[in-house]
Amino acid sequence: MMIQFVRRSSLFALLFTCVECCIRPAPSVGNFTFASYYGDHMVLQRGPKQAIIWGYGPSPGSDVTVSLSGETPISVKVDKGNTWKVKLAAVTDTKPHTITAMSSSGTIMLSDVLFGDVWICSGQSNMVFIMRHLFNATEEIADAVNYPDIRIFTVGMEFSSVPLSDLKSVMESWSLPNKETVGGDGFFSAVCFLYGKRLYNKLKYPIGLVTSAWGGTPIETWSDTTALKKCNIPTFDNENNENNVLWVPTAPSLLWNAMMFPLTNMTIYGALWYQGEANAIPPANPNTYNCTFPAMISSWRETFHVNSEMQTDEQFPFGFVQLGPWKNDSSITTGFPDLRWHQTADYGYVPNAKMNNVFMATALDLPDFSSPYGGIHPRDKQDVADRLLLSGLTVAYGRNAGKYQGPFPTKYFMDTQSKTYLITYDDDSAEIDVRSEDGYEVCCSEIKTSDCSTEDSTWVAAPITDHDKQTVSISYKGCASPYVVAIRYAWRESPCPFKKCAVYSIENNLPAPPFIQHLAQPSDTLLYHSGNVVIPELIKH
């Protein structure tokens, strides 16, 4: 298989440019050193989990003693690969600590180390998107200095045909937030920092944020071979590797190998993911994402759990952003809409049976068509972070008793006399806010068993004709065919103006996520009453 590369656009160069002032090598004495992503000012995972510290040298078989301020020293021997690794005692306080490692070569030290929750932030350009490109960037960057207990780290952009034990490069060493470290030309990820800031405001203990992202990259390049094989995706063939190419890698596993696998010795609390555009845009096929995304999450969890000596939870929380809009064209019904659905493994919501302990922020109602970075890169990342926090507090921390996602339909009722469908949201448990009559469509077909993908079927607008606190009525009078075989909602690349889609939750102001539902057809087994048909358990698309 030929390795594939996509040229880095000027946007990505603008978003992610190396700044030497924020790079500090890991402390070392000769060849005795900590691994590349350890450094002063870092955050390690707090108790009850135990943090992992590892490094190199001075020589196989030699002794290394690691001590955490106030704790009993831990001694280990350097292995045949010239690496050493220790598991620290659990720490739950929020004060700064010093970690010292001693060997025959000398002493190396990490200072101002905090213990808190460590989150990995990964994906493509919308995760890369930096703070200085936000709406209200000046105010956001100026406020960063008020969060000294948040610490940030950015992985260097590298790729490899084989899994690496350590990072090839670091773009930004562990740093406290300030004008330079948060608002520089090459960092820091806006979504990652804004989420961390909101999380800190709730938890009131240190937060460590590690960004490992690369614009324009598909999910396959962030997935290991095990995950790819589960979905029958071809794995990387190194025989045709092109050397010294400086473009965005898209071949399977290249970024997993170089930018994620090296981090898996760390104990982490959770991960955030903002990716999918590269898998939604031709020639990519979005219809494999319902397999590749759950498989990637599963493989990340397993590898972090094992490599951290079982300290990272084997079902650690995983949050993602459901794709936002792109072009100012309401006629586009493929690509992004398909990908959004597949991001949920075709359930329409998370967590679900295939995506346990997963949370999401729906962003389909946050267009920014005038963004100077392209409509695909909206500047409003604050709303995205707010939505991630709401769902993350509930799923990842169990701290929120209210609704943490937008309304989702649970019942469909067909009135054949008025040619309407009554759609009930969330089993009458929450009130909805209807802001537009547009967004619903029905699939009309000459064939009862149509899957809506052939010429015998047509999608027709089904406007809202009435609504109450939990239901909407949509009209299918525009359907000239004998069968209504499916309903879908917000199935457009850019389905609505800013925060003006049809259905929202009154409780949390979150939009209803998109859905597509194939309908069981009326038959002798269904209940008829006064021209009405109760649709039974629906067939998942």
The pLDDT assigned to 22 comes to: 59
What the block records as the tokens of 326 is 């792109």
Query: Could you tell me if 427 and 531 lie in one domain?
Result: yes
Mean pLDDT of 488-509: 97
Say what the pTM is.
0.90
Q: Assign 6 a pLDDT band (cuts: 50, 70, 90).
A: very low
- Residue range 205-247, pLDDT digits in tens: 999 999 999 999 999 999 999 999 999 998 765 544 444 443 4
Number of domains observed in the structure of the chain: 3
Of 395, 427, 449, the residue that ends a domain is: 395
DSSP letter string over 150-207?
EEEEEE-----SS--SS-S-EEEEEE--SHHHHHSSS--BHHHHHHHHHHHHHH-S-E
Q: Do 380 and 503 fall into the same domain?
A: no
Higher per-residue pLDDT: 208 or 11: 208
Residue 401 lies in a domain: no
Q: Say whether both 310 and 413 belong to one domain.
A: no
Question: For strand 32-34 and strand 28-29, is the pairing parallel, antiparallel, or unpaired?
Answer: antiparallel
CATH number of the domain encompassing residue 168: 3.40.50.1110
Give domain status of residue 402, yes or no: no
Same domain flag for 361 and 454: no
> What's the average model confidence in pLDDT over 353-371?
98
Query: Are residues 243 and 232 part of one domain?
Result: yes
Q: Are residues 420 and 527 in the same domain?
A: yes
pLDDT digit string, tens, across residues 152-162:
999 999 999 99
Contact assessment for residue 316 and residue 355, using Cβ atoms and an 8 Å cutoff: no
Question: Which residue among 363, 395, 427 closes a domain?
Answer: 395
Residue 429, pLDDT > 70, answer: no
CATH number of the domain where residue 90 is located: 2.60.40.10
Mean pLDDT, residues 485-493: 96
Q: Are residues 183 and 161 in the same domain?
A: yes
- Would the pLDDT of 457 be above 70? yes
Least confident span in 3-12, 18-27, 33-42, 455-464: 3-12
Task: Report which of residues 313 and 519 the model is more confident about.
Answer: 313
Does residue 404 lie in a domain region? no
Which of 125, 131, 126 is CA-nearest to residue 152? Answer: 131
Residues 356 and 472 in one domain: no
Residue 293 lies inside a defined structural domain of this protein: yes
Residues 129 and 152 grouped into a single domain = yes
Q: Assess if residue 475 is contained within a domain.
A: yes
Question: Are 259 and 391 contained in the same domain?
Answer: yes
Q: What is the mean pLDDT of residues 527-538?
A: 33
Q: Which domain holds residue 521?
A: 409-540
Query: Does residue 67 sit in the same domain as residue 119?
Result: no
Supply 515's token pair: 């859905």
Find where tokens 């990505």 sit: 12
Rounded Cα distance, 405 and 463, in Å: 24
Is 60 exceeded by the pLDDT of residue 8?
A: no
The two tokens of residue 77 are 């021997």
Q: pLDDT at residue 94 above 90? A: yes
Let me know if residue 250 belongs to a domain. Answer: yes
| Residue 177 resides in a domain | yes
From 78, 113, 148, give the residue that closes a domain: 113
User: How confident is the model at residue 309, as a pLDDT?
Assistant: 97
497 lies in some domain: yes
Q: Cα–Cα distance between 294 and 173 in angstroms, integer?
A: 31
| Angle (nearest 5°) at CA 77 between 258 and 300 | 30
Residues 488 and 422 in one domain: yes
